[in-house]
Amino acid sequence: MASEIIEVEGHIIDSLILPKVMDKILAAGADYRVIEVDIGKTNADVSRARIEVTAADPDALLSLLDELQVHGANRVDVADAELVACDRDGILPAGFYSTTNLPTSVRIRGRLAEVEFPEMDCGLVYGQDGRLRAVPMHRARVGDLVVVGTEGVRVSPPERPRGHTPFEFMNSDVSSEKPKALLVGQVAARIRGAKAAGHKMLTVCGPAVIHTGAGPSVATLVREGWIDVLFAGNGFAAHDLESNVMGTSLGVSVSEGSAAEGGHSNHLRVINEIRRYGSIAAAVDAGYIDGGVMYECVKRGIPFVLGGSVRDDGPLPDVYANVVEAADAMRYLLPGVGVALMLASTLHAIATGNLMPAWVETFCVDINPAVVTKLADRGSHQALGIVTDVGLFASGLVEHLRLEPDVPVHARS
Amino acid sequence: MASEIIEVEGHIIDSLILPKVMDKILAAGADYRVIEVDIGKTNADVSRARIEVTAADPDALLSLLDELQVHGANRVDVADAELVACDRDGILPAGFYSTTNLPTSVRIRGRLAEVEFPEMDCGLVYGQDGRLRAVPMHRARVGDLVVVGTEGVRVSPPERPRGHTPFEFMNSDVSSEKPKALLVGQVAARIRGAKAAGHKMLTVCGPAVIHTGAGPSVATLVREGWIDVLFAGNGFAAHDLESNVMGTSLGVSVSEGSAAEGGHSNHLRVINEIRRYGSIAAAVDAGYIDGGVMYECVKRGIPFVLGGSVRDDGPLPDVYANVVEAADAMRYLLPGVGVALMLASTLHAIATGNLMPAWVETFCVDINPAVVTKLADRGSHQALGIVTDVGLFASGLVEHLRLEPDVPVHARS
Amino acid sequence: MASEIIEVEGHIIDSLILPKVMDKILAAGADYRVIEVDIGKTNADVSRARIEVTAADPDALLSLLDELQVHGANRVDVADAELVACDRDGILPAGFYSTTNLPTSVRIRGRLAEVEFPEMDCGLVYGQDGRLRAVPMHRARVGDLVVVGTEGVRVSPPERPRGHTPFEFMNSDVSSEKPKALLVGQVAARIRGAKAAGHKMLTVCGPAVIHTGAGPSVATLVREGWIDVLFAGNGFAAHDLESNVMGTSLGVSVSEGSAAEGGHSNHLRVINEIRRYGSIAAAVDAGYIDGGVMYECVKRGIPFVLGGSVRDDGPLPDVYANVVEAADAMRYLLPGVGVALMLASTLHAIATGNLMPAWVETFCVDINPAVVTKLADRGSHQALGIVTDVGLFASGLVEHLRLEPDVPVHARS
Amino acid sequence: MASEIIEVEGHIIDSLILPKVMDKILAAGADYRVIEVDIGKTNADVSRARIEVTAADPDALLSLLDELQVHGANRVDVADAELVACDRDGILPAGFYSTTNLPTSVRIRGRLAEVEFPEMDCGLVYGQDGRLRAVPMHRARVGDLVVVGTEGVRVSPPERPRGHTPFEFMNSDVSSEKPKALLVGQVAARIRGAKAAGHKMLTVCGPAVIHTGAGPSVATLVREGWIDVLFAGNGFAAHDLESNVMGTSLGVSVSEGSAAEGGHSNHLRVINEIRRYGSIAAAVDAGYIDGGVMYECVKRGIPFVLGGSVRDDGPLPDVYANVVEAADAMRYLLPGVGVALMLASTLHAIATGNLMPAWVETFCVDINPAVVTKLADRGSHQALGIVTDVGLFASGLVEHLRLEPDVPVHARS
């Protein structure tokens, strides 16, 4: 038998942290004893609990503590973290501390260092400059000092939005039977709030954004300064460009909804021409592209990352064929993002969710509840899934954002 | 081995009738020989084919011919139909001809009689007045003369909409990746056309119509004369009334989207009060109900049928607790209906589809593709499934129908 | 401002009761102050909390207390409940206490009376015999003494299964990405346990049970004594009988999976013949039906309720055309049921869930996650949703139940 | 106005080719006149039709002809194809003929050349050796002679499986309400047939194969010689390896179905270790991996391609980070494949479908009907979608394939 005392602090009751911790302990076949608990008297007060966890052996205890930390339960005993140097590029030391996307600090040589930009599933590298970074496996370099084990690591428990919100308890959020007109207005309000606070808005788009006719709405969001960063794949960009040049999306007329003759190869011809120009920006400059989401990004200087996938046709010259480089490019653009809108995207939305800190407020919109559930489960503790038609949602969002008098501006970062 | 010659006539190639007939013959392990085929030279011309069908034995042949007739393939040999009298109420003679919902005529005593209002899964009763009616099993009465076998029965093959339509080939229609804003406009145009031609519009509503915030839009469609008949269940009506009296739908605030306190019993209290008034109409007259879909129906004299189900709370006094009577009440209101709009309803939409002739143009709107596919597969050869958010669809439909200058009026029937 | 002190007791942390109560208070725009909290030291100890709730006015407070009681939060102050007599048949007094399906007791004239068989959405009628019953609205009779308001009513909070279970935290249970072979074994173990404890097993079946080839497995479960009560609709029974008489289900061959010739009317012909026999039992006795689920129920004397719906063909003579009577018949058979298996059924499964006390362990199996989520959200606090193929699930379940040596017997009740 | 005469030949009625052609012409706003039609007298005879197509102008006609050719309608007039040389690497000449995945031949300099291995969305490059190849855009090289326009190109219309099959008419195939036990046996029979004919079997796996417990079944299919080529992504391979080393899949115990402590980082640790070994094969050789799908592939020398994606953790050293190279690696392994099994995979299954000729018989198995529909719509005219639980399907498939006495052997290619 092996024991250790852990503590959790924050809104641990109504943010479900304490229940989850107890549940995890029992589910692991271990046991707990509550040593001390101090429940906040009011909604504004934080609560604290100290719990003794007992597991069958030290190994089981260790991996349980590891799991509990994901939920913000830290050891009371804070010793210095163990640092081990990488001995090969792209490989972390065995036993590396595997990050969450929550705010995290580590006691190193007697002092607390804060992780600069939390990202899940990374190692923690302590630099000679005293900075602590979440580093994905492939970017580890020989000699990097990496935190090993959970000793000395403290994470802050996630807080869910509190008070009277339209976004109800737990994940019953993901129902299709909600009044969407209301939700659109509430999402607009949150976006407006985040922008007003100086945060950037990231938008992640799947090809269905174009197929469902949401392209012009998203282009408007770029043109009018709401979208600061765009992530997508070859398909989204190709169909956006196709709809501009040919008036079709995957050969279906965007204005009439009927299949165009010869349309099945339209996107290929457009991709081929863009390859000839050398880049989307060059095609815009040459006047070949004169509207649409990608056009607005180029014109407004909005940065975008198009990540490749094995099913891509072409691909467009701007697409990162190397997916590891694509993810690195996405990482580069994330600091400063405070709100993320994921529209009809599975692959790129999940990829993005994996890279973002938990504090980014995320709205996942898709007509398929399975996709929305998958997205809301990952990536962010502040994710809200909305099961609705992306085409109708996007045009409603534009209307709502325009209703207010004050003109939004791009975030200064 | 047994053979028979059948013929099909109409747009048998592009309406897929001939391919389906050939497919059914082969799938049944039987064989065919094309005797004569006359393909229409142009899109406007009809085509004709005569095919000899050979099956293993007369029984297999008979049941195959029965199946083929569903697709409009009739025997060339037209003898008089056999008529057998019912010997017990509510039970058809063995071997009764089981109807489709296609236009059908029967040769009786040397003359062709047309089925007055085709309904699927019925028997055909030949009255002493020379009229031929589709009669559901439970309404058969002792002495009724019922058509037995397929001899003498001819059905007209279904035609699918032709030419340049937004509603593409086969059932790829049911995709969620379509520009819905377009579809809304096209549905509005079809409704306008049907109403202009003097047809009635039927609307079938599920409870999610209210949960998704579509209630006010549907109420507007009733108030402004678009909806002529309404079918629904206890749940839809109860939540419509609840949203009017309490401002909630199943306890969720319709204007704020958040759960109201004590809201879970709101619909029960409203049902209880309506039971006290004795009917929805009485509650409207007394001023207890002053808005919503049911209110508009009462005020405008729009007939409605609320069919009961085993999961009903209460139920409301207007609900038919006897489902056989409910279906009969629905049958009574169907003649004159030319277009049907099914909103977020599974049970009542399928029930309605079972009762309608194939010529009623039907639009099934639901966010769940499985429901839409199920509905589009049944009920009508002219059904179009639209996978989208009902709340956003309904408000768009109201906008589109209002756009046009001419004021719609209720169909005169 | 109005205040009241409430208390919750039980596994209020890890069963999420306290968090839910706090959440509901804040969501209602009210506020709380924790007066006293006593967290159980170990997993076996119960916890207790007293909380002062403050709302804007007495009405808001009252309806909030009403809502909180659904989650097991009772007023500390226990006065006698108010009783009001019904003045009309089928109508409860205004302000009636609307039941949950949790264990409930009421202080009446200074003594606690326990609700005999909790059912949600009912009124509580106090009989002259001192018994307290949950009575659906339509069965209230003039003079019945009905509990009004929440004063004096105490409910026990629901407990979720604790410890090391395959059924994880919250409703992530409903994922399709679980190893189903494992789940089948675990469901078998729970069924075995419930039967061994003398409980009955209820099974609710939809028509897809037959379409997916699960019919023989369910028939085996009846024949071998596992199923004690069966609820279904006309469609399930008709296709079960059709598959026995004709070898098809909705015209599709059950043994070959291909459409049979003439098959679309097979179920109609079988229904018509059963109507001639007068009942399924009569058709079994006459030898017309010699296998299948309904056959085994008749042979074994297993009671069943077939509830009607507006979409029914026929219907079969055993079907309750009156849905209120159908629900009453279902109520009659529920006492003694300890475990419920809902297979590919939406309508009848939801209807059943509405009638059952929260303590019945319920497994909902369907390939559509939306159905499973809907079912697991209602009916029972012990519901587990399993997204899988019903045909493959049922045959696995039979195998697992047969593996064990001891022969199960029908529960003695 | 511009006209041209086209012809179609084959089972053009029951394979729906003629109806589709007529439909496309009308949908494009063009018109047709049937010049000659010769319907095969029996099921074995082919049919032929010549149709004059008239469009508004030569451009519209040209793009319509282009579209019709996808369905096997060729111009009667066969002139030589136009060849244009590429002037830049990776870019096709404007107006390039965009391929289908149907058997295709082109008249070049008076002689017919057959496309060696049809792949959709490619250009056709005519080599100096007289061979004609489908070349994806990115592999075009300066000087390559590419077919431009549709002149001289003939494609063979697709044929769908004929006769008495379990796989019904059109895409109603994709229903979840089918008896899956039957389908498993029929899929087993088709696989057995394809292998007996010397074809290879390709399997494409998503991560849910492991999560649903299907891993050991797929490993068995490799070990026993059924699977000849494997395509997957980083996630599938990582969870297969994790389940072997740790006994978990994404941290969930594969044998118990419950979350393991500390399990969320299990796959990361395994990926990190495999990176240390340098490859999966090296880890197998070193004994670190001693079971599972990837292990069996290494041991048996079964080639696999792991294509990267932007959401990958790690990734594993065997993963192609460059997706264009991944697709090329997949192309390299496709010749000889006659049957493909796609298990719970969206991304890699669609990617594979894009690369395969239409003649490869394809079975797509997923619990989500939306995925199955998407896959069956693409990739192959012989695709069958099966909506079921992958875990239960795979174990059933192994049983069925083992039932037969003769031991299967790997295809000799």
| DSSP string covering A255-322 | TT-SBPTTGGGHHHHHHHHHHHHSSHHHHHHTTS--SSHHHHHHHHT--EEEE--TT-SS--TTEESB
pLDDT digits (tens, 9 = 90+) for A256-291: 665 555 567 889 999 999 999 999 999 999 999 999
**In chain C, whose CA is at the least distance from the CA of A18?**
C13
Least confident piece of the model among A166-170, D30-34, D236-240: A166-170
pLDDT at A44 over 60: yes
**In chain B, whose CA is at the least distance from the CA of D24?**
B169
Residues of C in contact with D387 (CB under 8 A): 367, 389
Residues of B in contact with D16 (CB under 8 A): 16, 19
- The pLDDT score that the predictor gives to residue D165 is 45
ipTM over 0.85: yes
pLDDT at B255 over 90: no
- The pLDDT score that the predictor gives to residue A410 is 47
Return mean pLDDT, chain A. Answer: 86
Distance from CA of B182 to the nearest CA of A (A): 7
For residue D409, name the pLDDT band (cuts at 50, 70, 90). Answer: very low
Residue C34 to residue A32, Cβ atoms within 8 A? no
**In chain D, whose CA is at the least distance from the CA of C248?**
D179
For residue C343, name the pLDDT band (cuts at 50, 70, 90). Answer: very high
Do the beta carbons of residue B412 and residue B196 sit within 8 Å?
A: no
Distance from CA of C334 to the nearest CA of A (A): 29
Distance from CA of B189 to the nearest CA of A (A): 14
pLDDT digits (tens, 9 = 90+) for D340-371: 999 999 899 989 988 999 889 889 998 887 77
Q: Higher model confidence: residue A248 or residue A177? A: A248
For residue C296, name the pLDDT band (cuts at 50, 70, 90). Answer: very high
pLDDT at C251 over 80: no
List the one residue out of D115, D105, D107, D52 whose CA is nearest residue D83. Answer: D107
- The pLDDT score that the predictor gives to residue A157 is 76
Residues of B in contact with A186 (CB under 8 A): 257
- The pLDDT score that the predictor gives to residue C374 is 72
Q: Higher model confidence: residue C20 or residue B296? A: B296
Q: Please give the interface size between B and D, counted as residue pairs whose CB atoms are below 8 Å apart.
A: 88
- The mean per-residue pLDDT over the stretch A190-211 comes to 95
pLDDT at A337 over 80: yes
- The mean per-residue pLDDT over the stretch A212-216 comes to 92
- The pLDDT score that the predictor gives to residue B168 is 40
Please tell me the pTM assigned to this model.
0.85
pLDDT at C116 over 80: yes
For residue B309, name the pLDDT band (cuts at 50, 70, 90). Answer: very high
- The pLDDT score that the predictor gives to residue D349 is 92
Residue A67 to residue D310, Cβ atoms within 8 A? no
Nearest CB to B178 within list A165, A176, A212: A212
- The pLDDT score that the predictor gives to residue A404 is 61
Return mean pLDDT, chain C. Answer: 86
Tokens of A377: 């489960």
Residues of A in contact with D233 (CB under 8 A): 310
For residue B160, name the pLDDT band (cuts at 50, 70, 90). Answer: low
- The mean per-residue pLDDT over the stretch C152-180 comes to 59
Least confident piece of the model among A329-333, B117-121, D245-249, D371-375: D371-375
CA distance linking residue A365 with residue C290, whole number of Å:
52
Portion of chain A with pLDDT greater than 70, in percent: 87
Least confident piece of the model among C378-392, D70-84, D140-154: C378-392
Residues of A in contact with D264 (CB under 8 A): 67, 70, 98
- The mean per-residue pLDDT over the stretch D288-311 comes to 97
Mutate to test the interface with C, among A34, A48, A176, A350 (most CBs of C within 10 A): A34
pLDDT at C295 over 70: yes
Residue C13 to residue A20, Cβ atoms within 8 A? no
**In chain C, whose CA is at the least distance from the CA of D369?**
C368
Residue B179 to residue A254, Cβ atoms within 8 A? yes
- The pLDDT score that the predictor gives to residue C321 is 96
Type of residue numbered B297: C
For residue C258, name the pLDDT band (cuts at 50, 70, 90). Answer: low
- The mean per-residue pLDDT over the stretch D159-165 comes to 50
Portion of chain A with pLDDT greater than 90, in percent: 54
- The pLDDT score that the predictor gives to residue B215 is 94
**In chain A, whose CA is at the least distance from the CA of B210?**
A179
Residue D164 to residue B27, Cβ atoms within 8 A? yes
**In chain A, whose CA is at the least distance from the CA of C377?**
A172
**In chain A, whose CA is at the least distance from the CA of C175?**
A370
For residue D164, name the pLDDT band (cuts at 50, 70, 90). Answer: very low
Which of C199-203, D68-72, D210-214: highest mean pLDDT?
C199-203
- The pLDDT score that the predictor gives to residue B383 is 74
Do the beta carbons of residue B387 and residue A367 sit within 8 Å?
A: yes
For residue A172, name the pLDDT band (cuts at 50, 70, 90). Answer: very low
Burial classification of residue B314, based on how many CB atoms lie within 10 Å of its CB (0-12 exposed, 13-18 middle, 19 or more buried): buried
Residue B168 to residue A393, Cβ atoms within 8 A? no
Residues of B in contact with A258 (CB under 8 A): 164-166, 168
Residue A388, C-beta contacts closer than 8 angstroms, at least 6 positions apart? A176, A180, A183, A365, A367, B367, B389, B392
- The pLDDT score that the predictor gives to residue C330 is 97
Mutate to test the interface with D, among A323, A331, A342 (most CBs of D within 10 A): A323
Question: Which residues face D33 on adjacent strands?
Answer: B42, D52
- The mean per-residue pLDDT over the stretch B130-152 comes to 95
- The pLDDT score that the predictor gives to residue C257 is 60
Mutate to test the interface with D, among A261, A267, A331, A387 (most CBs of D within 10 A): A261
Do the beta carbons of residue C32 and residue C77 sit within 8 Å?
A: no
Residues of C in contact with A24 (CB under 8 A): 169
Mutate to test the interface with A, among D68, D311, D367 (most CBs of A within 10 A): D311
- The mean per-residue pLDDT over the stretch D376-391 comes to 72
Type of residue numbered A107: R
Least confident piece of the model among A145-154, B168-177, B262-271: B168-177
- The pLDDT score that the predictor gives to residue A259 is 55
- The mean per-residue pLDDT over the stretch B154-161 comes to 73
Nearest CB to B180 within list A212, A255, A256: A212
Residue A313 to residue D137, Cβ atoms within 8 A? yes
pLDDT at A22 over 60: yes
Nearest CB to C43 within list A26, A40, A176: A26
For residue D67, name the pLDDT band (cuts at 50, 70, 90). Answer: confident
Residue pointed to by tokens 């431009």: D148
pLDDT digits (tens, 9 = 90+) for B27-77: 788 888 888 888 887 877 888 889 999 998 888 888 888 888 878 888 887
pLDDT at D176 over 90: no
pLDDT digits (tens, 9 = 90+) for D317-348: 999 999 999 999 999 999 999 999 999 998 99
Is the C-alpha dihedral spanning C368, C371, C377, C381 positive or negative? negative
pLDDT digits (tens, 9 = 90+) for C205-228: 999 999 888 999 999 999 999 999
CA distance linking residue B235 with residue B232, whole number of Å:
8
- The mean per-residue pLDDT over the stretch B234-241 comes to 96
pLDDT at B171 over 50: no
- The pLDDT score that the predictor gives to residue D137 is 95
Nearest CB to D275 within list A24, A90, A273: A90
Mutate to test the interface with C, among A21, A22, A377 (most CBs of C within 10 A): A22
CA distance linking residue D100 with residue A306, whole number of Å:
26
Start-end of H helices in B301-358: 323-333, 347-355
How many helices (H) and strands (E) chain A has is answered by: 13, 20
Distances in Å between the Cα of D41 and the Cα atoms of B3, B31, B53, B60, D55 are 15, 11, 12, 22, 32
Tokens of D386: 């099966």
**In chain D, whose CA is at the least distance from the CA of C181?**
D392
pLDDT at A255 over 80: no
For residue C163, name the pLDDT band (cuts at 50, 70, 90). Answer: very low
Type of residue numbered C335: P
For residue A182, name the pLDDT band (cuts at 50, 70, 90). Answer: confident
Backbone angles phi, psi at D257, to 5 degrees: 75, 5
- The pLDDT score that the predictor gives to residue B407 is 45
pLDDT at D172 over 50: no
- The pLDDT score that the predictor gives to residue B165 is 45
